[in-house]
Chains A and B, each alone.
Chain A
Amino acid sequence: MVKNIKVQVKNLNLWYKDNHALKDINLEFKSNTITAIVGPSGCGKSTFLRSINRMNELIDNSNTSGKIVVDDKNIYDNDVDEVAVRKRIGMVFQQPNPFPKSIYDNVSYAPIKHGITTKGIECDDLVEKSLKSSALWDEVKNKLREPGTSLSGGQQQRLCIARTIAVSPDIILMDEPTSALDPISTEKIESLMLELKKDYTIIIVTHNMQQAARISDYTAFFDQGEMIEFGKTDTIFINPKEKRTEDYITGRFG
């Protein structure tokens, strides 16, 4: 498998008012890999994740400088619409947040609005395909009209993943997707991520070191708004260069 550079972050800085939340971040994400971002609470890893699909712009008084280049185009260029960015760079959140609609509508809502599909058989196929990709189809195929909120937490999270891949993005951002779930649901989501890696580039923020070690190909360690260390997950976990990384990974702080 050829691993191209999918996302290139160059000198990214971000301020919330006077708070310098991200300091000069430089990073590269390769296609069809899982990159884990780890670090203590408040280190800016979620902020960084949100700046990759411009979700940070929803917060008042946030200011970004630097470049995030996806497929040779800086997504912060003036001629790039953030809505188009978010369609190609999907996001899964910490708390499962299905729309208060039926399971079917949860998946089909955005594709219909984007004009990817129209109501009817075509849409049914897309819903089925997306739910199969998120390994939820067998559990919900007989109750597609029931509200998405009637599912269990783990199922809801997989529904959110199905909703994300229904608009066929290139990149999926995951913000601690399993921290609200029990170990069995977590295990399902993790194996799903390894499956999704074949088609998508995945960037995941996690607090769980074992999880990062289990599923990611690359790991970036953040602390106090800075990117401290980045490398292959094995290297970072077994043989970190930086003292701070080692301290955090071995549980001495954070």
Chain B
Amino acid sequence: MKNNTNPFYDVSLRNRHAKTKRFKLFTYSSLIFSLAFLLFFIVDIGIKAFPALKQTYVYIDVTYNEKSMRSSRAAIDRKYKKIVSRAYLREIPKHIKQNPYLLNTTVKKWVLADDQVDQYLKGHYSKLKSKDKIFVDELVKSNLLKLQFNRTFFTNGDSKVPEFAGILSSIIGTILTLIITMLFAFPIGVMAAIYLEEFSKDNLLTQIVEININNLVAIPSILFGLLGLAIFINSFGLPRSSALVGGLTLALMTLPIIIVSSRAALRSVPNSIREAGFAVGLTKVQVITGHVLPLAFPGIMTGSIIGLAQALGETAPLIIIGMIAFIPDSPTSVLDATTVLPAQIFTWAGMPERAYIEKTAAAIIVLLGILVLLNSTAIYLRKRYEVKW
């Protein structure tokens, strides 16, 4: 025994404190590890997506006449053949038809350049021949060819020509799909949760229903795609690839999430509030709508938005119902064939042209941006309407 006069001396303490320190280190390093991955992902995507902000344009004469109406190649000087985007040329006849006053004029303007030129200018691998590269260098020197802000990416739909491809149609498709999802999943989910939490008696049947709903949350999402295909397309005959079918399918998937989170929110409302309502002779509806729902509202909204965010990022079920198809035009109604952002990302990721790499990354950034926005809204709602007592 040491000559220790300290009455609080305990031999085992050193060891025990060392254990605590080690334990803390484990938890801390786990956190750093996962954060490092997240950071790596975001930086990597950001670097890949950054070039997509700009697109190469070339300053040339465009001749609008009868000949270029028939063959749009005639609209430009032959030497620019490899420089100007094919997709741009393709649009010329349509452009003249829409603006007849242009006929028989020659306009000097900035037009979209070919993706190979674009990639060469951005310092990526390019299939341009060396003499074309020299020509491009000359144009750059004389300031007739340069990178400008890439408007096309936000104003165009999908295209097989990379420089012409954009996310507009998939964003509109996503919005339409999510509106349908919320329109169906939110009221049905909340109502079902209210029934289970406020009305149903605790018996075997409700227990079975409860277990099944909880399990539905964890079901692989592709199965919901098959379900949607079987019900909405094969049985009801709704148009495939449409935002309506996509939205309904995602609603099936989101429904259990909304039910489970709404039930949790309702359960967190103290029973004393219900009793207070009943004790002054309020009916069940008055108690639920007047006192329980306002208190549960932030929780219900948070859960629903998280469910919505999950639906937003969902790809697998939408592949099954055909929303992965090549759809360049923006939908004008929920019955039109459309695609959604994650499906668009999936399509672009599989494209052989290297110019799609930056588009894919940029679309991922947009998707992540929307997700962050939705989740911040959820947090804001929770903080804003939280009632303390």
Contacts and interface: CB of A to CB of B under 8 A. Distances in A.
Given A97-B272, A100-B291, A113 B286 contact: yes
A149 B295 CA distance: 13
Given A60-B201, A100-B387, A149-B389, A91 B272 contact: no
A233 interface: no
A88 B202 CA distance: 30
B281 A83 contact: yes
From DSSP, what is the main secondary structure of chain A's interface residues? helix
A93 B270 CA distance: 13
B283 interface: yes
A97 B273 contact: yes
B273 A93 contact: no
Task: Specify which of A84, A164, A166 lies most central, judged by the most chain B CB atoms within 10 Å of its CB.
Answer: A164
B280 A93 contact: no
A166 B282 CA distance: 13
A137 interface: no
B290 interface: yes
A16 to B, nearest CB: 13
B210 interface: no
B279 A86 contact: yes
B388 interface: yes
A53 B279 contact: yes
A90 B281 CA distance: 8
B275 A97 contact: yes
Given A100-B294, A100-B389, A86 B276 contact: no
A99 B276 contact: yes
A55 interface: yes
B46 interface: no
Nearest to A84: B281
A86 B281 CA distance: 5
B279 to A, nearest CB: 4
Given A83-B281, A97-B273, A149-B387, 5 more contacts: A83-B282, A87-B281, A91-B279, A114-B281, A149-B388
Interface of B: 201-202, 270, 272-283, 286, 290-291, 294-295, 387-389
